[in-house]
């Protein structure tokens, strides 16, 4: 089967959206100015908060977008305040670092009917915390002191928006991260598509609990429950039956034909989201603590969803 060619039908609108990604206009509306400083007293011991979470999130977003260190972020915020002539103060760089641990980020999403079922595509990738660059590894080999985190993403293939994310240690398997993603999604699901790493009984059990279809290609040496002597994993009968059905369909139709019939190829949109994150925001985390890294990733996902709102290409096969 020859590879299909695709053409972007909304190139004029998409080209304008790409230009608008760099069209940055800074302003502070009345709501932001009123909520910049924190005036509520908690009644607890110690000095009360001076800045609201809105001010901290604004500083962290500018830091992630322009890839700045904390001190340069403080200088950027101060220059914007001075240029716009508003009576605000810039948060200190040390305060931005400390408050990053406790701030909560809400991902912007399109307003949809909560009763309407959605599709999801999931995937994982690695993000470096510290370690040698690729050139040093190529020349001298890798060293022990290298640390990576694993990013789990759940993307809506219809809107290209990130619905959920989770940052874990490198030893956490892809199938173990799926329940963490599903806990964050309040909408009913129709299908969840993942690569062969999600071909586990635990994933089919999650599909049975959530009443959705799990689309993942079985391994080439996979066997049905009747071909195995015993069920070592002690999975639920419903999960075993669903996986057996997928294995039999793949054997009957062929792997490529099954992927086309099931619509499995939309799973590549999760890899596209990973590529967009690493291209636009980078592939290396700038903080050392796990709590700070989760906030950093949340801001990355929020920035990417904002860019998605500006416009995405509409491609059709020709």
Count other C-beta atoms under 10 Å from residue 30's C-beta. 7
H/E segment holding residue 189: strand 189-193
User: What are the structure tokens assigned to 255, written together?
Assistant: 């792997």
Asked whether residue 57 is domain-assigned, the answer is yes
Q: Check whether residue 66 and residue 126 sit in a common domain.
A: no
Q: Check whether residue 154 and residue 235 sit in a common domain.
A: yes
The one-character DSSP state at 284 is B
DSSP codes, 78-114: HHHHHHHT-S--PPPHHHHHHHTTT-----------T
Q: Check whether residue 130 and residue 251 sit in a common domain.
A: yes
Phi, psi of 278 (to 5 degrees): -70, -30
Predicted confidence pLDDT, tens digits, the chain (318 residues): 556 677 788 888 888 888 887 777 777 778 778 888 887 766 677 777 889 898 999 999 999 999 999 999 999 999 999 988 888 899 999 999 999 998 999 888 776 666 789 999 999 999 988 766 666 667 677 666 678 899 999 999 998 999 999 999 988 999 999 999 999 998 899 999 999 999 999 999 999 999 999 999 998 888 888 887 665 567 888 999 999 999 999 999 999 999 999 999 999 999 999 999 999 999 899 988 999 999 999 999 999 999 898 887 777 767
DSSP codes, 136-184: HHHHH---S--EEEEEEEEE-TTT--EEEEEEEETTS-HHHHHHHHHHT
Q: Check whether residue 62 and residue 208 sit in a common domain.
A: no
Domain count, the chain: 2
Q: Check whether residue 94 and residue 123 sit in a common domain.
A: no
Q: Check whether residue 210 and residue 170 sit in a common domain.
A: yes
Asked whether residue 113 is domain-assigned, the answer is no
Q: Check whether residue 271 and residue 149 sit in a common domain.
A: yes
What's the pTM value of the predicted model, to 2 decimals? Answer: 0.86
Q: Check whether residue 146 and residue 85 sit in a common domain.
A: no
List the domain range (segments joined by +) for residue 72.
24-99
């Amino acid at each position: 089967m020859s590879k299909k060619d695709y053409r972007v039908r909304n190139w004029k609108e998409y080209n304008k959206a790409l230009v608008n990604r760099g069209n940055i206009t800074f302003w502070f509306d009345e709501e932001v100015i009123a909520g910049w400083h924190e005036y509520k007293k908690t009644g607890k011991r110690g000095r009360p908060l001076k800045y609201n979470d809105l001010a901290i999130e604004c500083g962290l977003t500018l830091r992630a977008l322009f890839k700045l260190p904390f001190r340069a972020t403080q200088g950027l915020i101060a220059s914007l305040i001075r240029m716009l002539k508003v009576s605000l103060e810039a948060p200190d760089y040390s305060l931005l670092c400390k408050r990053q641990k406790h701030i909560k980020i809400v991902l912007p999403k399109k307003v949809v009917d909560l009763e309407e079922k959605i599709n999801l595509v999931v995937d994982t990738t690695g993000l470096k915390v510290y370690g040698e660059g690729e050139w040093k590894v190529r020349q001298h080999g890798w060293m022990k002191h290298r640390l990576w985190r694993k990013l789990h993403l759940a993307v809506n293939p219809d809107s290209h928006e990130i619905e959920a994310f989770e940052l874990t240690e490198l030893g956490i398997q892809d199938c173990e991260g799926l329940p963490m993603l599903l806990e964050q999604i309040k909408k009913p699901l129709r299908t969840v598509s993942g690569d062969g790493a999600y071909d586990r009984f635990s994933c089919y059990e999650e599909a049975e609990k959530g009443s959705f279809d799990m689309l993942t290609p079985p391994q080439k040496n996979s066997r049905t429950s009747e071909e195995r002597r015993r069920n070592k994993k002690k999975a639920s009968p419903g999960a075993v039956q669903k996986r057996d059905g997928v294995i039999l369909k793949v054997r009957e139709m062929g792997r490529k034909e099954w992927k086309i019939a099931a619509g499995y190829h939309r799973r590549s949109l999760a890899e596209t989201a990973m590529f967009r994150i690493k291209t636009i925001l980078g592939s290396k985390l700038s903080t050392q603590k796990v709590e700070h890294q989760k906030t950093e990733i949340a801001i990355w996902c929020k920035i990417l969803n904002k860019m998605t709102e500006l416009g995405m290409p509409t491609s059709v096969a020709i």
